[in-house]
Structure 1
Amino acid sequence: MDDSGVQAPKINVHSTEAQHFVEAVLKGNGVPPENAAVIARCLVQADLRGVDTHGINRIPSYMARIRQGVLNAIDSPTLNQITPAVAQVDGNNTFGFLGAHMGMQRAIEMAQIYGIGMVSVKHSNHFGMSAWVVQQAIDAGMMSLVFTNSSPALPVWGGKEKLMGVSPIACGAPAGKEKPFILDMAPSVAARGKIYKAKRRGEKIPSDWALDAEGRQTDDPSAALEGVMLPMGGPKGSALSIMMDVFSGVLSGSAFAGHVTNPYDPSKPADVGHFLVAIKPDLFMSLEDFKDRMDFLYKRVVGCEKMAGVERIYMPGEIEQETEQRRLKEGIPYVQAEIDALNEEADRVGVGRLEVMQ
């Protein structure tokens, strides 16, 4: 919204243009072309699915980290095979997208042989929307679990200081003729990225999302960022955030217990950890039977009796899949301030500005 409270108009950009633009900015900052393609694809996929908090608007904060020397733009992650079905990726302080992409690819390869593959990723960074890692597994016909930890934003239940991250829990399973199951949710009432998005766009937030520094509910995103996010379901959301820290931080050897650096803090490496599992879906029955059972589950979920006032029931991930199909045709909506911030990054490295749809 602007100062008058009017919603800022949206400007659409074709997903192909967004992909090329981000690749160019990344390469202009020293990122190798093959790595730039992976990072750009993951960011654009978030925008296509409507997860605007984790899309290409993250580029200015990522580039600031490169300029401060706390994000390694040049190198790539490295892989260490631990057992035939377990591996670890050292992110080498590169983009989190790269370590997670390498890790899930290796997990898939191991699962194809052994039925399951598990990869721990250490010394990584923010990897954006978790659903893209789940989609990577689904595209290979695999079920998956995708965990990550993140910088402090939530209090543990009964506490008042930031300690746990708003760390998403994600998983997925392919289906047959129906849509796949994709769960990607944060253990907070809302993702912290939505507060950054509201601040960037000059918008208010719901008053039950966060507390300010004095412990009061607030609809001001700036005040919320000075305070704490609220966990969903009280102690249940708090416990899920601790679980993410155990599997992603403690197990991997990365930062944990409140020591992951905020992705908007360009003072030191983030040291994020991830935990990735790929599972072959036809371990206990034929693949055809598995897909038939997933299709039956989908039909039961979306076809069950609706509560009053509900027009349609969705499978987890279905709304985002439909948003992606629409935005592939209509373009991805941004506001002018977001376009300006992205173009400033393009100007810094002398590459073409973002072209908008007419």
Structure 2
Amino acid sequence: MRPEEAAQAARVLVLAELAGLTTHGISRVGQYLNRVKVGGIDAQAELQVMRVMPALAMVDGRNGIGPLVGMRGLAEAMVGARDCGIGVAFARGSNHFGPILPYALIAAEQGFVTLIASNATTTIAPSGGKDTRLGNNPIGIGVPNPGGDPVILDMALSVAARAKIRDLAASGAPLPEGWATDAEGRPTTDAKAALAGFLLPVGGHKGYGLAVMVDLLAGLLSGAAYLTHVQAWDKNPEVAQNLGHVFIAIDATKLASTESFAARMADFIGILHATPAADPAKPVMVPGERELATLKRQRTEGARVKEADLRILRELAGGAVQG
């Protein structure tokens, strides 16, 4: 990759790692670059941007590295929001772009509210079905907080992410009930059987409905692949996925003064924090609070990284990376 573009993509994965989102952090470097080696991703892709309207942009990732496409989409949405108060960018021709939290954090630090979503490889069956048709499509909302940490929701639409099931399968640990089914649609606690089956959506038919709408926004409207047209990176690593993303940014500085917004956010968060905890050892938190606390701590104290992930990075770097 071109150095400046590699830095943008790395920023997403490193922020994810620092926030404790290890299934979507630096462990993805090997996955991405293995697909580059077999022709599934173009590391030298020349991204194209079309400014459709002052507040609306279309980003063609040209099958580039996903986090790079994501960063370009976020940047274009913020350009529209600076000019018009709200900006939207659709992206197509992309790949797995990491978790949403890093994008929402970057935007929140600049005063932008965001709604970000992506489609994904099919792993979820429609309600009442016994074959996968939908991806575990992530969606996130970030709200800046001039007086403290932003509030960031970053969630996939299954009960658990497939990456977590892969980790359990690798360790031989059992799967919690309600996470997934086997290939016949029967609930299972066998992680390996779950990998051959499909994920269960959060909230049953409600999660299914959200997954459908995310794919319409991120996949269909962007001009990307959608539903079963999305290629599975693990089954066909040499084929372009053509994932789609959507980035909606709102310039919160246009809505209220910094002082007023900070006071209202402090009051809002304070009301939630003041909720009596069912377990005193587990106080009530707002979305993203745990991850942002982890991010702060690891930025100060250093990050704990899985030895296997570090070994792969060293191998990819030809031994140049030192501990």
Q: What interval of TM-score do these two structures reach, taking the shorter chain for normalisation?
A: over 0.9
Local SS of the residue matching 1:87: strand
Deviation of the 1:309 alpha carbon: 5.6
The one of 304, 320, 323 aligned to 1:352 = 320
Local SS of the residue matching 2:252: coil
Shift in alpha-carbon separation, 1:354–1:213, aligned structure 2, 3 A? farther
Deviation of the 1:201 alpha carbon: 4.3
Shift in alpha-carbon separation, 1:331–1:191, aligned structure 2, 3 A? same
Give the corresponding residue for 2:138. 168
Shift in alpha-carbon separation, 1:207–1:339, aligned structure 2, 3 A? farther
1:331 corresponds to 2:302: yes
Give the corresponding residue for 2:48. 78
Letter of the 2:181 counterpart: L
Shift in alpha-carbon separation, 1:302–1:201, aligned structure 2, 3 A? same
TM-score under structure 1 length normalisation: 0.85
Task: State the Cα deviation string for residues 150-185 of structure 1 (Å, max 9, x = none).
Answer: 010011111111111111110111113232110101
Q: What is the aligned residue count?
A: 322
Shift in alpha-carbon separation, 1:110–1:335, aligned structure 2, 3 A? closer
Local SS of the residue matching 2:57: strand
Moved more, 214-223 or 46-55: 214-223
Task: State the Cα deviation string for residues 282-334 of structure 1 (Å, max 9, x = none).
Answer: 44433322222112111111112333566301110000011112222343334
Give the corresponding residue for 2:276. 305
TM-score under structure 2 length normalisation: 0.94
Deviation of the 1:202 alpha carbon: 4.4
How far apart, in 2, do the equivalents of 1:149 and 1:78 lie? 20
> Do the aligned partners of 2:105 and 2:150 also contact (CA within 8 Å) in 1?
no
Letter of the 1:243 counterpart: M
Q: Identity of counterpart residues, as a percentage?
A: 37
Give the corresponding residue for 1:11. none
How far apart, in 1, do the equivalents of 2:170 and 2:295 lie? 23
Give the corresponding residue for 1:271. 242
Moved more, 218-227 or 272-281: 218-227
Letter of the 2:310 counterpart: I
Deviation of the 1:203 alpha carbon: 3.6
> Do the aligned partners of 2:111 and 2:253 also contact (CA within 8 Å) in 1?
no
Q: How does 1:178-257 map to 2 (within 5 A)?
A: 178-257=148-227
The one of 213, 217, 231 aligned to 1:261 = 231
Moved more, 69-78 or 122-131: 69-78
Task: State the Cα deviation string for residues 258-301 of structure 1 (Å, max 9, x = none).
Answer: 22122323131010000101101144433322222112111111
Shift in alpha-carbon separation, 1:206–1:165, aligned structure 2, 3 A? same
Give the corresponding residue for 2:17. 47
Unaligned runs of 5+ in 2: none
How far apart, in 2, do the equivalents of 1:64 and 1:210 lie? 27
How far apart, in 2, do the equivalents of 1:193 and 1:339 lie? 18
The one of 252, 267, 275 aligned to 1:281 = 252
How far apart, in 2, do the equivalents of 1:342 and 1:202 lie? 24
1:34 corresponds to 2:4: yes
Shift in alpha-carbon separation, 1:144–1:101, aligned structure 2, 3 A? same
Shift in alpha-carbon separation, 1:316–1:160, aligned structure 2, 3 A? same
Unaligned runs of 5+ in 1: 1-30
Task: State the Cα deviation string for residues 203-257 of structure 1 (Å, max 9, x = none).
Answer: 4331321111132333332221110001111001111111110100110110002
